[in-house]
Amino acid sequence: MRAYQLEAPRLDALRLVDVPQPRPGTGEVLVRLRAASLNYVDLAVATGAFPAALPLIPVTDGAGEVLEAGPGVSGIAIGDRVIPHFLPDWSAGPLPPPANRRMRGINMPGSLADCAVVPAASLVPIPDHLSFAEAATLPIAATTAWRAVRTGVVRPGSTVLLLGTGGVSLFALQFAKASGARVIITSSSDEKLERARALGADETINYAASPDWDARVLELTGGVGADLVVETGGSKTFARSLNAAASEGTVFVVGFLSGDALEASLFPIILKMLKVIGSNTGSVADLREAVRAINATGLRPVVDRVHHFKDAAGAYATLAHGSHFGKIAVTLEDGR
């Protein structure tokens, strides 16, 4: 079968190779992958910013259809359209300890291949109204956004602050609006902010024009701040996110786009009694809940562009450039 192999932590070390097709063991399923979707962690793995077990088949997220089921698998039929979760052994409950934490595309084979073997318990059905490319965006981004909205107890009247217009932010925008919240979103692009408004954002802030965007959030909320801040920026935005949060609000820490080393005052956390919550995606049960919400609302993931399998390197380049709005997908559909 076709597969990409990342041989070293460099973007130029991505190679298209032929490898034997794997076979499912007990409790496992062979999935014919039809699409993959990139997250920032995939770029971090490919550039050495995030440790991974190289060489490996990269890219965490994918979607496809069941080709074969191993012994002991029930309730899954050949041809079922499915999403394998990023953390296949985290069914529900507490996060497994690091020693037992397999991660697709990081320390086990990922989604840039024709097929993948995954635990049957990690599969979630694809909503009927979604394409494979749309479904491939769900495992990390939708699960993370869903957990953020649930953790922040978002409800009618809540205010949610989103940083940037990447996949997690746009899923969180749609989940928050479905929950009746007011949403404020930031970007350095007025064009992206207009697109965010079309998705339901109530207020927008161009952080290039307003570098003190946290002060603008306080102004827009009458000095109260946001009940939930989905912090995707990292070290350069974290302190402002704390400032923009409401008393007893939640700062849900998702990303590290600007770095992971923090220098921030503890006073906002202490004085406002903030809840600072780290995110490592979520469980298979969380993904199922997110999919249930997507089915109920008819929500569609925002896919900026879809690269062909032969142009997987181009998908990485698009992600690295940072000009996208929403998610970047790779199609593995036939038509080689």
Per-residue model confidence as pLDDT tens digits over 249-271:
999 999 766 566 667 788 889 99
pLDDT in tens, 41-83: 999 999 999 999 999 999 999 999 999 999 999 999 999 999 9
Location of structure tokens 């495992």: 139
CB within 8 A of 299, min separation 6: which ones? 174, 175, 178, 293
In this structure, the number of other CB atoms found within 10 A of the CB of residue 318 comes to: 17
Whole-number pLDDT of residue 47 = 94
> In angstroms, rounded to a whole number, what is the distance separating the alpha carbons of residues 55 and 61?
18
pLDDT in tens, 275-314: 999 998 999 999 999 999 999 999 999 999 999 999 999 9
- Find the helix packing angle between 284-297 and 143-151, rounded to 10°: 90
Beta bridge partner(s), residue 84: 123
> In angstroms, rounded to a whole number, what is the distance separating the alpha carbons of residues 76 and 256?
37
DSSP three-state, residue 125: strand
Location of structure tokens 């080689």: 336
All domains in the chain, ordered by first residue: 2-137+301-331 (3.90.180.10), 142-278 (3.40.50.720)
pLDDT at 335 over 60: no
pLDDT in tens, 159-172: 999 999 999 999 99
CB within 8 A of 204, min separation 6: which ones? 184, 185, 186, 187, 193, 194, 196, 197
Whole-number pLDDT of residue 150 = 97
> In angstroms, rounded to a whole number, what is the distance separating the alpha carbons of residues 72 and 51?
33
Whole-number pLDDT of residue 334 = 65
